[in-house]
């Protein structure tokens, strides 16, 4: 057989081809995960099999499909490395006593009524300085969740506040990879992009603080832990660790590294190694347990003189976490999601869906709405904030020019519906990371991640009203005037 005959003819997918894998994904996740309680990884692989059958019918070979999966992994490899390092950093900061000290003083100083607002603000500040929502949620966020466990505050609300705060900084920090990527994809200046995001993100932030403030002050007294339990937890933490100001050195190093724009992974690893040394010096942990904590995660059984069976369950929930291996199930979930997303993307089905969405553009409002829908669609299908920004950014660049709009409108919308939505997707890189790190399933914290969906809702509102929309020459958009389209 000649080489020409071995090459299968590739066909352009129809709308039916594009819809079948999406229906397969809904059936597998809805029936397999929600109804049969099967592992999410298995459901995603089943959906990937459906996508593979469609791709094969379109003429793709197995090598083509593998290439699609590889592209997805390559595009998100940096985030995966950060996830692994955050796992090591969490366990090492437990080992050193850094996170236990944050939890200890958080329990003593934070009024449970202000916990949601405090969690939002603290994570927003840290993620703005570091440029990473992963680092913010994995350090300060874990400490805030510890305070919630100790005080009896609802964990889904606390996780939603933590994630909203972490995403705030991830959107507005000039150190954030998505903040740098969105203006590149749209073709505008990064600082124009950041300033323009203050409108949607600012409104979503105000909404978030109002919701968290009202909910915090209306918490029933029965939901707050008894003073006896809180005192017992404080006493246990105080007996297990020796607290001092030097334990704050690892977080300072991470913040300083971000401010100086040093590579994230080496800075996190350096802070983790320093924390391990501090744990041996200040807490008296045997050095032989350091590697175990770094690799497998921290466990209260590592504390000298402590019998794990005598420790109250709340302390185990607080402290037993982290480690390189602690992120492996999350990374496996991401790879399974990339199996579906890679095959679906390589078959050309994504482009068919996006073209159908783009065909609905009739006005500036529908242009913003189409961009939002397309970006959310990419977030759900690929699970990658990078692809959710890059693909719609390239596709909608020409329509924004045709309507005479400034490209910063496009870059803002890409982040409002990309960076913000990915943490709400259970199989996305950010969604799986947040759920694993904070210990709350995505579907439980989703309603309380107010900033995440508030951002794209305000983007839609501003798109249809013309508020804050800027023309290419910098003048405000007049919603009453008709924009010419080809």
Answer with the one of 327, 356, 390 that is the final residue of a domain. 327
Contact of 272 with 92, CB cutoff 8 Å: yes
Output 394 or 406, whichever has higher pLDDT.
406
Q: Looking at residues 398-421, what average pLDDT do you find?
A: 91
Three-state secondary structure call for residue 405: strand
> What phi and psi, each to the nearest 5 degrees, are found at residue 11?
-110, 155
Asked if residue 107 and residue 41 are part of one domain, the reply reads: no
Q: 162: Cβ–Cβ under 8 A, 6 or more apart, which residues?
A: 119, 120, 123, 137, 140, 141, 144, 145, 438
Torsion sign (Cα): 172, 174, 178, 181 = positive
Residue span of the structural domain in which 79 resides: 75-327
The mean pLDDT value of the chain amounts to: 86
Q: 282: pLDDT confidence band, cut at 50, 70 and 90?
A: very high
Q: Is residue 113 part of a domain?
A: yes
Asked if residue 135 and residue 45 are part of one domain, the reply reads: no
Q: Looking at residues 395-414, what average pLDDT do you find?
A: 90
**Whole-model pTM?**
0.78
Structurally, the chain folds into a number of domains equal to 2
Q: Is residue 428 part of a domain?
A: no
Q: Is residue 419 part of a domain?
A: no
Answer with the one of 266, 293, 327 that is the final residue of a domain. 327
Asked if residue 293 and residue 186 are part of one domain, the reply reads: yes
Asked if residue 200 and residue 121 are part of one domain, the reply reads: yes
Q: Is residue 323 part of a domain?
A: yes
Asked if residue 88 and residue 40 are part of one domain, the reply reads: no
State the Cα–Cα distance between residues 17 and 85, nearest whole angstrom. 39
Q: Is residue 394 part of a domain?
A: no
**Which tens digits make up the pLDDT trace of 324-335?**
888 787 788 778
State the Cα–Cα distance between residues 39 and 29, nearest whole angstrom. 9
For residue 23, count CB atoms less than 10 angstroms from its CB and return exposed for 0-12, middle for 13-18, buried for 19 or more: exposed
Asked if residue 151 and residue 25 are part of one domain, the reply reads: no
State the Cα–Cα distance between residues 68 and 386, nearest whole angstrom. 15
Output 314 or 22, whichever has higher pLDDT.
22
Q: What is the DSSP letter of 277?
A: H
Instruction: Give the model's pLDDT for residue 453.
Output: 94
Q: What is the CA radius of gyration of the chain?
A: 24
Q: Is residue 92 part of a domain?
A: yes
Asked if residue 269 and residue 214 are part of one domain, the reply reads: yes
Answer with the one of 327, 358, 375 that is the final residue of a domain. 327
**Which tens digits make up the pLDDT trace of 60-92?**
999 999 999 998 888 778 778 887 888 888 899
Q: Looking at residues 237-264, what average pLDDT do you find?
A: 87
State the Cα–Cα distance between residues 123 and 116, nearest whole angstrom. 11
**Which tens digits make up the pLDDT trace of 181-235?**
888 888 888 888 889 999 999 999 999 999 999 999 887 765 565 677 778 888 8
Asked if residue 137 and residue 42 are part of one domain, the reply reads: no
């Amino acid at each position: 057989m000649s080489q020409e005959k071995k090459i299968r003819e590739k066909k352009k997918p129809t709308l039916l081809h594009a819809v079948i894998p999406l229906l397969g994904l809904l059936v597998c996740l809805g029936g397999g995960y929600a109804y049969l309680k099967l592992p999410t990884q298995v459901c995603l692989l089943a959906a990937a099999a459906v996508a593979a059958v469609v791709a094969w019918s379109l003429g793709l070979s197995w090598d083509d499909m593998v290439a699609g999966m590889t592209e997805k992994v390559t595009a998100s490899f940096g985030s995966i490395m950060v996830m692994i390092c955050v796992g090591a950093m969490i366990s090492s900061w437990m080992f050193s006593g850094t996170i236990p000290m944050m939890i200890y003083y958080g329990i003593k100083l934070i009024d449970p009524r202000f916990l949601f607002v405090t969690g939002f603000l603290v994570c927003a500040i840290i993620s703005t300085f570091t440029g990473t929502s992963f680092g913010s949620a994995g350090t300060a966020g874990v400490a805030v969740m510890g305070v919630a466990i100790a005080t009896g505050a609802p964990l889904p609300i606390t996780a939603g506040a933590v994630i909203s705060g972490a995403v705030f900084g991830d959107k507005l920090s000039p150190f954030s990879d998505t903040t740098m990527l969105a203006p590149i994809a749209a073709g505008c200046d990064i600082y124009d992009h950041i300033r323009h995001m203050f409108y949607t993100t600012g409104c979503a932030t105000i909404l978030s603080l109002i919701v968290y403030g009202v909910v915090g002050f209306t918490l029933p007294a029965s939901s707050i832990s008894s003073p006896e339990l809180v005192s017992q937890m404080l006493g246990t933490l105080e007996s297990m660790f020796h607290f001092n100001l030097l334990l704050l050195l690892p977080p300072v190093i991470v913040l300083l590294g971000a401010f100086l724009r040093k590579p994230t992974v080496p800075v996190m690893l350096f802070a983790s190694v320093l924390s391990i040394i501090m744990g041996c010096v200040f807490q008296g942990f045997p050095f032989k347990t350091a590697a175990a904590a770094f690799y497998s995660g921290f466990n209260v059984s590592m504390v000298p003189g402590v019998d794990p069976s005598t420790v109250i369950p709340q302390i185990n929930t607080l402290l037993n976490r982290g480690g390189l291996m602690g992120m492996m199930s999350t990374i496996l979930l991401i790879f399974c999601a990339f199996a579906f997303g890679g095959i679906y993307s390589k078959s050309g089905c994504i482009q068919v869906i996006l073209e159908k969405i783009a065909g609905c553009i009739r006005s500036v409002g529908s242009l913003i709405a189409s961009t939002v829908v397309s970006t959310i669609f990419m977030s759900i299908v690929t699970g990658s904030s990078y692809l959710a920004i890059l693909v719609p950014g390239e596709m909608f660049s020409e329509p924004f020019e045709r309507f005479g709009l400034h490209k910063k409108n496009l870059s803002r919308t890409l982040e409002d519906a990309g960076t913000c939505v990915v943490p709400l997707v259970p199989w996305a890189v950010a969604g799986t990371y947040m759920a694993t790190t904070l210990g709350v399933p995505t579907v439980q914290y989703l309603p309380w991640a107010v900033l995440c969906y508030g951002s794209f809702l305000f983007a839609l509102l501003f798109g249809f009203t013309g508020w804050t929309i800027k023309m290419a020459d910098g003048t405000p958009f007049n919603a009453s005037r008709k924009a010419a389209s080809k």
